[in-house]
Amino acid sequence: MIDGRVLTGDRLLGSGFCIADLFVVTAAHVVEGHSPDDLSFMISNVRMEVDAIDIRPHIDVALLRLRRSMAAVPRLTYGEKMAQWSVMSQPRANDPTLGGVITDTDRKITNVHQCDVFMLQLKADETLGNFYGYSGSAVYIGESVTGVLLEQVNERGRSPNPKGTNVLYALPIETVVREFRLNRDIEPYQSNPRPSGLLLDAAFFDLDALKGQMYATLSGSDDRAVAFGVEYAEPVFVRKLCDWLEHYLGPTQRRDSVILNPTFTSIDGAVRTVQRYLSALDRVSVVCPVPADGIPREYIAGFWDQLHAACPDADHVLVVLFFGRPQGGYPDSVKTLPEPAFATTDIAAWVRHVAMSTATRKWSQAMVDSLRDLIIEQSTDGGGLSIRYTIEALEEYIQLIRFHPDDLRRTLERRSR
């Protein structure tokens, strides 16, 4: 399940759905006038805090950034005229699912913010009179999201309080992806049933504290070159952090590690190594990991300052990721990141989301508990959850869920008897 409710306290404001790691789409008019601290996103009785809001009134859509990672995101597809559509969100306890047919895929309307926009026109089978709470819902064709439900058409006439009709408008999902520059592919519609959740390549929740700072740095500056430093240097973690940067940045080249050696390599020589990659910034972003363990702070500062000055004004961004413990710590010009951390509650939440979002057959609670316990058993060393063991265990089960779901199901059923 990727559908949820947007709340302020316990009061319902509207609906929303996960579209990318940490990001939820909803209607702009649902969250206007609220700060991130006012809001939360509730999915399957799990409440997640909102860290930031990006409102685009001209298309009446807002993007919420959560403080907790998600396990899965929806498949996306283009709207298709006369295709059957559905809305799976349930704003209130007894609200029904919605369904009907798409009658137009590029209907030009003037939205609630008096802006012209092209929408999907939907005819609903249900006649509810008022669709309050459904605003911001994902509109599905089959198992893939095709739009964001935003408006209901009222009856024509001179009544000061016209009744609502069963004609609705949704913003095409490709408009949302383009507007917010999300790194998501949109597929042609396929009629074969598939789970609506597309499992992410990795469980990124151990990076949540790091991602908040990286988002703030990358989105809050027009700088085309950014440097981060993290002291934890386990290779499996560095690889995963680079994976997440590619997930966030979109088209990316990940370069081999650049070795800094003050004894044998001058700062000019180290900078020249990275400068060879900079011509690619007109096409893609570049991520360059740099081991920093034991390297003097002054050497790192000189290397980064010189490389930063040489970086061109380009369409994409250079990210240099220092890892390890330098002598004297990281210089002020390098954004120091906190350590990664796992918690058993994160693993439990990830397993619940996987079960809701990606399973073609419903999992029992005993199966959910069994998978959680398996992952925790494989991830624990003498001092609690090991970063390395947990990453490796999660990657193993992601592969099982993707490619051998029946084998995993049989294992969990046996364990839960």
Please state the φ and ψ torsions of residue 106, each to the nearest 5 degrees.
-145, 55
Average pLDDT estimate for 28-43: 94
Taking phi over 0 as left and psi of -120 to 50 as alpha, with beta for the rest, 9 belongs to: left
- Tell me which of 336, 364, 394 is where a domain ends: 336
Instruction: State whether 103 and 60 are in the same domain.
Output: yes
For residue 204, is it within any domain? no
So what's the pLDDT on residue 195?
Answer: 46
The first and second tokens of residue 215, run together, are 């988002």
CATH assignment of the domain containing 158: 2.40.10.120
Q: Is the pLDDT of residue 279 over 50?
A: yes
Instruction: State whether 171 and 225 are in the same domain.
Output: no
So what's the pLDDT on residue 286?
Answer: 94
Instruction: State whether 53 and 188 are in the same domain.
Output: yes
So what's the pLDDT on residue 161?
Answer: 63
Name which of 390, 347, 389 is nearest 369 in CA terms. 347
203, with CB counted inside 10 A (0-12, 13-18, 19+), is buried
So what's the pLDDT on residue 196?
Answer: 45
Please state the φ and ψ torsions of residue 295, each to the nearest 5 degrees.
-80, 135
- Domain span at residue 384 reads 344-415
Instruction: State whether 157 and 113 are in the same domain.
Output: yes
| Average predicted confidence (pLDDT) for the chain | 87
Instruction: State whether 35 and 157 are in the same domain.
Output: yes
Beta bridge partners of 195: none
Residue-wise pLDDT for 216-253, tens only, equals 888 877 888 999 999 999 998 898 888 888 877 878 89
For residue 177, is it within any domain? yes
Q: How many domains does the chain divide into?
A: 3
Instruction: State whether 324 and 402 are in the same domain.
Output: no
So what's the pLDDT on residue 145?
Answer: 94
Return the ∠ at Cα 48 (arms to 42 and 49), rounded to 5°: 125
Distance (Å, rounded) from C-alpha 238 to C-alpha 232? 8
Residue-wise pLDDT for 366-396, tens only, equals 999 999 999 999 999 877 889 889 888 988 9
Considering the chain, what percentage of its residues have pLDDT values greater than 70? 91
By DSSP bridging, strand 285-291 and strand 318-323 are: parallel
The first and second tokens of residue 183, run together, are 């790194």
Q: 354: pLDDT confidence band, cut at 50, 70 and 90?
A: confident
Q: Is the pLDDT of residue 298 over 50?
A: yes
Average pLDDT estimate for 27-55: 92
So what's the pLDDT on residue 346?
Answer: 83
Q: Is the pLDDT of residue 330 over 50?
A: yes
- Identify how many contiguous H helices and E strands the chain contains and give both numbers: 10, 21
Instruction: State whether 29 and 131 are in the same domain.
Output: yes
Instruction: State whether 35 and 172 are in the same domain.
Output: yes
Size of the chain in residues? 417
For residue 70, is it within any domain? yes
So what's the pLDDT on residue 25?
Answer: 97
Instruction: State whether 187 and 218 are in the same domain.
Output: no
Instruction: State whether 308 and 398 are in the same domain.
Output: no
- Tell me which of 315, 336, 357 is where a domain ends: 336
- Tell me which of 275, 309, 336 is where a domain ends: 336
So what's the pLDDT on residue 378?
Answer: 92
Instruction: State whether 40 and 108 are in the same domain.
Output: yes
Tell me which of 282 and 164 has the higher pLDDT: 282
For residue 182, is it within any domain? yes
Tell me which of 363 and 171 has the higher pLDDT: 171
Average pLDDT estimate for 315-321: 93
Q: What distance, in Å, lies between the first and last C-alpha atoms of the chain?
A: 26
Q: Is the pLDDT of residue 288 over 70?
A: yes
Instruction: State whether 364 and 288 are in the same domain.
Output: no
The first and second tokens of residue 24, run together, are 């939820």
Residue-wise pLDDT for 147-202, tens only, equals 999 988 776 655 566 666 888 999 999 999 989 988 788 888 665 444 445 666 55
Q: Is the pLDDT of residue 73 over 90?
A: no
Average pLDDT estimate for 61-72: 86
| Cα Dmax for the chain | 83
Tell me which of 196 and 3 has the higher pLDDT: 3
3-class secondary structure, 112: coil
The half-sphere exposure of 116 on its side-chain side, counting CA atoms within 13 A, is 2
For residue 205, is it within any domain? no
Number of neighbouring beta carbons within 10 Å of residue 34: 16
For residue 167, is it within any domain? yes
Distance (Å, rounded) from C-alpha 367 to C-alpha 384? 23
Average pLDDT estimate for 308-336: 94
CATH assignment of the domain containing 232: 3.40.50
